[in-house]
Chain A
Amino acid sequence: MSLSFILRRLGYGVLLIFGVVVLNFLLIRLAPGDPAVVIAGEMGGATEEILDRIREDYGLNQPLTTQLAIYVGNVLQGDLGQSFFFNQPVSRLIAQRIGPTILLVLTAQVLSILLGVFLGVIASRKPNGPASAFVSIFATIGYAVPVFWTGIMLIILFASVVPIFPIEGIQSVRLRDAPLLVRGLDIAHHLVLPAFTLAVVYLAQYARLSRASMLDVLGSDYIRTARAKGGSERAILFKHALRNAALPILTIAGMQFGNLISGALLVETVFNWPGIGRLAFDSILRRDYPTIMGVLFFASAAVVVANILTDLSYRWADPRLREQ
């Protein structure tokens, strides 16, 4: 994989992120009403003094292009604006909450891919067997269940029937000053339900996809060649089939990242998980636009980064694409 390709891909990513910044800017201006009031937040009951300061800071009395330049300049310096509701810079709000979200999203992603591929591979061994039927039904159900409702059902189940997992928050109050290892385990304990809730939807999709992908690969000529060499079923599965079947799964995993963030937003709200999804929900209820826009910007940038990483790893995994 050439350096110039990586640079081109990065440059394109920067362009996309710049696009998000411009979109944010336009949305605030397009919203009905005085942008200064919009920025201050409709629920804030902003004083004329604050509004004047906002007009000054954002250059709202100047031409639109100047306003855009000021806005982009601010974002470049890491200044996503000031949340008037939380009375804190948006960038600091996001920095405080990004950790739990990354933990939740990555855990759900890894969980859903591992379990999904496992189920899919098992189902592909007998395309008409009971495991295949289970995967198909499970995939359709998993796709149709609203993720926030899954969370609520799990909370009801684990709160009253089998209270073995905590149902809200990220750590127990009484363990806040415990040693690091204990706190880590406590967070993992709290992570179980939210991560599983978020994983279920995608797990079902990965299971279905990897089943189809494995069936496709197992019927291919090179698998027959591997059999003709006298390879064991195990070697054929792991050495020959899985690597090829993983390629479409990798593509989908990259494309799902944005959806995963959307899902995390609902899951964080249901489980009171202190991440940026919960932050978005809180700020939307308060019409705290700088924060909402900051979260939108940040989440989109995360998707861009995830897409670039997927693209690069795809090219690394598929030798046919390497030198293009």
Chain B
Amino acid sequence: MKQPTAETAPAAAGDPATAQRVESPAREAWRMFSRNVPALLGVFLLALVLLATLYGKLFYGGDPFEIVWAPYEPPLTTPSVPLGTDYLGRDIVAGLLTGGAPTLTVGASAALITMVIGISLGSLAGYYGGWVDNLLMRITEFFQVLPALLFAMVLVTLFSPSLWTIAIAIGVVSWPQTARLTRAEFLRIKELEYVTAARAIGARNRRIIWKVILPNAAPPLIVSATLTIGVAVLFEAGLSFLGLGDPNVMSWGLMIGANRDYMLDAWWPVTFPGLAIFVTVFAVSLIGDGLNDALNPKLRGR
């Protein structure tokens, strides 16, 4: 006997109304995202951080390394140094405006490196399976064993700190999660009918991987990429804080690290850069959560 599909929720039973207003997934995702208040707050905050980092110098000049005032000048007391000065008498605002650039650059490029390594290895493992999968997964597990920050510290120290070394080091320690996610998506999608259909019409493996499976695996990967940026920013801040960043470039983490020994004399030089890092990562993760809700509607409400 042909049975109707099992459905317990009364309101969800076969809904012809939804069939009438078919919407492209991208449009629907955008509609969801643009109604998501926290996500929009994230976009706003991130835009603020980016604008300040890109164009702040135009309106507020000043070398963050230059000693411009007496040390330990508290915030909101002197118009020429609005947020005060650090233990050497360097301007905090100048540091905040220039200190975002290395953090954001490293964050974005490290996330890019993470995604490239993770997606490449994960898709190969998931698509080919067998010994390829076995080998790549063992490698992934091996990298997951290494405590990421410690390993990145070792890499940066061995290969002299520069923005590139730091970005690569962060990428090298962060890819395993992306690889696992990609593999899981590939394992799921490669069993679906349209992949079988593509194979049946004689599509090559490379085409199936890039043109058929990857676009369908994109939603969770986009979310993961966003969140990876946040993790990479925190990583860079941690390394700079420990004094392992590029010593010639002012960054938020470096500001905190340099003023740490004097934090009980002056709270502001360590507080404001930390707030800047927090706002950046907070914005990115709000966007990530918003994308997750918009792109993976099944998980909504979690």
A262 to B159, CA, bound (A): 20
- Shortest CB distance A117–B (Å): 16
Restricting to A245-270, which residues have a CB under 8 Å from any CB of B? 255, 258-259, 261-263, 265-266, 269-270
A152-B142 contact in complex given A140-B285, A144-B285, C-beta closer than 8 Å: no
Closest to B253 in A: A146
Partner of B145 from the list A147, A284, A285, A304 (CB cut-off 8 Å) is A304
A28 cross-chain contacts in B, Cβ below 8 A: 158
Flag if A299 contacts B147 (CB, 8 Å): yes
Determine whether B281 belongs to the interface, using a CB cutoff of 8 Å to chain A: yes
Determine whether B208 belongs to the interface, using a CB cutoff of 8 Å to chain A: no
Flag if B145 contacts A20 (CB, 8 Å): yes
Size of interface on B: residues with Cβ below 8 Å to A: 44
Closest to B266 in A: A156
Flag if B281 contacts A258 (CB, 8 Å): no
B144 cross-chain contacts in A, Cβ below 8 A: 255, 258
A152 cross-chain contacts in B, Cβ below 8 A: 256, 260, 263, 270, 274
Determine whether A44 belongs to the interface, using a CB cutoff of 8 Å to chain B: no
Flag if A148 contacts B238 (CB, 8 Å): yes
Determine whether B148 belongs to the interface, using a CB cutoff of 8 Å to chain A: yes
Partner of A299 from the list B141, B142, B150, B277 (CB cut-off 8 Å) is B150
A287 to B160, CA, bound (A): 11
Determine whether B130 belongs to the interface, using a CB cutoff of 8 Å to chain A: no
A262 to B235, CA, bound (A): 10
Flag if B147 contacts A149 (CB, 8 Å): no
Determine whether B81 belongs to the interface, using a CB cutoff of 8 Å to chain A: no
Determine whether B70 belongs to the interface, using a CB cutoff of 8 Å to chain A: no
A20 to B244, CA, bound (A): 23
Restricting to B131-165, which residues have a CB under 8 Å from any CB of A? 141-142, 144-151, 153-155, 157-160
A280-B267 contact in complex given A144-B281, A259-B148, A285-B243, C-beta closer than 8 Å: no
Flag if B242 contacts A143 (CB, 8 Å): no
- Shortest CB distance A187–B (Å): 23
B284 cross-chain contacts in A, Cβ below 8 A: 144
Partner of A296 from the list B141, B150, B230 (CB cut-off 8 Å) is B150
Flag if B150 contacts A262 (CB, 8 Å): yes
A88 to B285, CA, bound (A): 45
Determine whether B92 belongs to the interface, using a CB cutoff of 8 Å to chain A: no
- Shortest CB distance B6–A (Å): 12
Determine whether A300 belongs to the interface, using a CB cutoff of 8 Å to chain B: yes
B302 cross-chain contacts in A, Cβ below 8 A: 212, 215
Restricting to B45-89, which residues have a CB under 8 Å from any CB of A? none
A156 to B154, CA, bound (A): 30
B160 cross-chain contacts in A, Cβ below 8 A: 32
- Shortest CB distance A23–B (Å): 8
Flag if B141 contacts A266 (CB, 8 Å): no
Report the interface size class on chain A: 35 or more
A258-296 vs B, Cβ < 8 Å mask (1 yes, 0 no) = 110111011001100000000011001101010011011
A270 to B284, CA, bound (A): 26
A20 to B238, CA, bound (A): 23
Flag if B271 contacts A153 (CB, 8 Å): yes
A300-B146 contact in complex given A212-B302, A215-B302, C-beta closer than 8 Å: yes
Flag if B151 contacts A149 (CB, 8 Å): no
Closest to B280 in A: A144
Flag if B264 contacts A280 (CB, 8 Å): no
A19 cross-chain contacts in B, Cβ below 8 A: 142, 145
Flag if A153 contacts B264 (CB, 8 Å): no
Determine whether B301 belongs to the interface, using a CB cutoff of 8 Å to chain A: yes
B146 cross-chain contacts in A, Cβ below 8 A: 20, 23, 258, 296, 300, 303
Partner of B242 from the list A261, A266, A300 (CB cut-off 8 Å) is A266
Flag if B264 contacts A159 (CB, 8 Å): yes
A159 to B154, CA, bound (A): 33
Closest to A212 in B: B302
Determine whether B234 belongs to the interface, using a CB cutoff of 8 Å to chain A: yes
A16-B278 contact in complex given A148-B238, A295-B150, C-beta closer than 8 Å: no
Restricting to B282-302, which residues have a CB under 8 Å from any CB of A? 282, 284-286, 289, 301-302
- List 29 A-B residue pairs with CB atoms under 8 Å apart, sorted by A's residue number: A16-B145, A20-B145, A27-B155, A27-B158, A127-B301, A140-B282, A141-B278, A144-B278, A144-B281, A144-B284, A144-B285, A145-B274, A145-B278, A152-B260, A152-B263, A153-B271, A156-B271, A215-B301, A259-B148, A262-B148, A265-B147, A265-B149, A280-B153, A281-B242, A292-B153, A292-B154, A292-B157, A299-B150, A307-B145
In the A-B complex, the 8 residue pairs with the smallest Cβ-Cβ separation, listed nearest first, are A262-B149, A149-B274, A144-B281, A144-B282, A31-B158, A261-B147, A212-B302, A299-B147
Residues of A within 8 A of B (CB): 16, 19-20, 23, 27-28, 30-32, 38, 127, 140-141, 143-149, 152-153, 155-156, 159-160, 212, 215, 255, 258-259, 261-263, 265-266, 269-270, 280-281, 284-285, 287, 289, 292-293, 295-296, 299-300, 303-304, 307
In addition to A153-B274, A284-B242, 13 A-B residue pairs with Cβ atoms within 8 Å of each other are A20-B146, A28-B158, A145-B278, A146-B237, A152-B274, A155-B264, A258-B147, A262-B149, A262-B150, A284-B153, A292-B157, A300-B145, A303-B146
